[in-house]
Amino acid sequence: MKNQVHSVHLPLVGALLTCSLALGGCNKVGGNDTNNFDPIGTAHPTASSSAYVVEGRLLVYLASESLSGVGGTNFNLANGDGDTGDDCAVVVDMVTKDETDLNVATTDMKIVGTSVYLIVSESADSKDWGGAVGTTDTVLLHYSSLSPLSFVDVIAPGANSWAVAGGRLYYVRGNPTLVNGDTSLAYLTSAAPTTPVPVLQSDTGNTLQPSILGVDENLVFLFADETVEGRDLNGDTDSLDPFVLALLDGTDIAGVVQNVELSISGANAPFSARVTGANDWLVGFLVDEATQTNFATGLNDPTVGAFGFGGAWKPSNCGAYADADTSDDVLHVIEYALWSADPLVNPPTNTGIPGTGRVLCTSDAVATLAVEADDGACDLNNDADTADTILRWVRATDFRLPFGLATQLNAVEVAVPGGILGVSDLDDRFLCVVSELQDNTDHDTDSLKTHNLVAWINPNAGSPTWVFDHGTQSGFQAAGASWVTDRANRDRLLVAFQESVINLAINTGDNDKTDSTPVFSRFDPANSNDLDFPGPAVAVAATNPGLVIADEYALYRVDEAADNRDWNGDNVKDDFVIFRTNVSTNFSSLIGFENKATANNLSGPAVVSSGGLGAAFVADESMAGIDLNKPVDGRADGYVITWFRIN
């Protein structure tokens, strides 16, 4: 394949072998990568499940009191409160290498510019930060190199209390005093990092106390609880719905919260937004029939005239089609600028597609995963069952006309590891991991129906067709995936590429064809219809490679046993080590070979990085066999946040 696995992997094998033989010289192979990537262990151990964040020159991690010290002796890192059960925030400057113990029990943290924000439970910290009587509040604290740790505000507890958008920290105040037109939402700026700015709403006759669902491309998704507000927010005549959607333009410092007046299923409901212009997005989300509908049937029954579905709406291969239940989540679409200017004239559009798990937006199409059993019990992919999950979509030219040809509807392998349910979008195309078994179709023409294959479709083509053949030479070139994920900026699809699908031993450390190798797919800049699969010739943990891209580097977790190599030189082949590949030069190397700083076999990304100055990962001392803390703490049996410079 041109620029793909066969021809791209083979030139890298020499570099990897040279790295293996020239111990300690891995970073100099080829002379085209001057970064040393020397990992540096932090001063204190951490729990394996603890969060850590990297942004700019800063790393913030949680040091564990209970795991610190020789023989479990507590260092009392936090606050002198007498217990040894706290996790305490530590700030690392990756330029100066200085670590600053903030000595406060912390539950979550974010970095915004040069500011560090912490969420702290007063009861866990045994301190009254907010000035109120007692220690019952959850508080927001601020720290920077120019400002000592200080109280900012009381913050609402829970996972939906804060988010970053437009370079600002948005958060939900814990005990605000509100008047009509106010919300409990506020934001902080880099210019005034400890001065909350209230966020208003378009409804000037009421107050609102929303929670934060999440952010996509700086559009803030919120939800409000009718039982808290004491009124009907979604027009269904009751005041019982706990998750009514609202939106906020996070690019506008004067943006106001606007109620969408539609109910979603919960605090983790899927959503998506794609920027289409200044202060404008194409927005997709799923509406919960059970808490929204005013009709005897649900929102996706084409026999209900009020929905305005035309005769062509029904999937072409479905006979009698009706869905009279009210148990689905149904895809709705908003063109934000038009809706925001006049929600009555430009209300959200009901596409009539039941969805689950994921919503995807390109600049002019919106998709979701439709379960056949929920979609009128229609055999969407024409395989003689109704047990599949299918990607369905609408285009901006007609949000009420889903594509419904059986040839355009394939079964998605939603169980493929990676956290994206087997679907993504890239360069205004939709990508899927298609299950041949569930489709009952041999998509890669190898006489089998057993593979999970990466395929893509252009939803705006005249006759959209799924593309499974990624080759540019003679013969069919398929791509099998044992793991897949995407990036927030939607510029790559990250895949654990299966040797077995192309019947080729890619990594030369062994002679089998059962491994997965890391690839970072993109559409070829010289050929927009050529999905490339570049990557190095090394075996990753097939279902947990943790592949990420930071700056110009792909970073991933290599499985020594699968690769049949002792990459870190400890005379066994049972570790999981971190590798890097420069996506521009294809130079690849092990990280931390000199001090045997092996990685871990934890679930999740191999490293955490904002793509800027540095990156960090959780190193397993037991796997490395050495004390990785700097300075050493006399123990080699825990987990240590280990960081390295990229730039």
Q: Record the pTM.
A: 0.92
Same domain, 219 and 325: no
Same domain, 285 and 248: no
Same domain, 213 and 251: yes
Same domain, 308 and 353: yes
* Structural domain contains residue 388: no
Which range among 66-75, 163-172, 543-552 shows the weakest confidence by mean pLDDT?
A: 66-75
pLDDT at 415 over 90: yes
Same domain, 214 and 309: no
Looking at 266, 290, 318, which one is the last position of a domain? 266
* Structural domain contains residue 216: yes
pLDDT at 10 over 70: no
Any residues with CB less than 8 A from the CB of 492 and at least 6 apart, and which?
A: 426, 486, 520, 521, 522, 549
Pick the more confident residue, 28 or 618: 618
Rounded CA-CA distance 175/193 in Å is 20
What does the pLDDT look like over 493-527, one tens digit per residue?
999 999 999 999 998 778 899 999 999 999 998 88
Q: How many CA atoms lie within 13 A of 536 on its CB side?
A: 31
Q: In sequence order, what are the beta bridge partners of 391?
A: 369
* Structural domain contains residue 232: yes
Same domain, 255 and 165: yes
* Structural domain contains residue 460: no
What does the pLDDT look like over 373-385, one tens digit per residue?
888 788 888 899 9
Residue 346 sits at the vertex; the CA angle it makes with 331 and 170, to the nearest 5 degrees, is: 70
Pick the more confident residue, 110 or 80: 110
pLDDT at 28 over 50: no
* Structural domain contains residue 108: no
Same domain, 291 and 256: no
Same domain, 229 and 303: no
Tally the domains of the chain.
Answer: 2
* Structural domain contains residue 221: yes
Q: Which domain holds residue 246?
A: 160-266
Pick the more confident residue, 135 or 19: 135
Same domain, 281 and 400: yes
* Structural domain contains residue 155: no
Same domain, 295 and 236: no
Virtual torsion, Cα 215, 344, 340, 370, nearest 10 deg? 30
Rounded CA-CA distance 632/626 in Å is 9
Looking at 238, 266, 294, which one is the last position of a domain? 266
Looking at 244, 266, 288, which one is the last position of a domain? 266
Show contacts of 573-577: CB within 8 Å, 24+ apart: 575/599, 575/623, 575/624, 576/541, 576/600, 576/601, 576/623
Which range among 64-73, 246-255, 320-329 shows the weakest confidence by mean pLDDT?
A: 64-73
Same domain, 253 and 321: no
Same domain, 279 and 203: no
* Structural domain contains residue 99: no
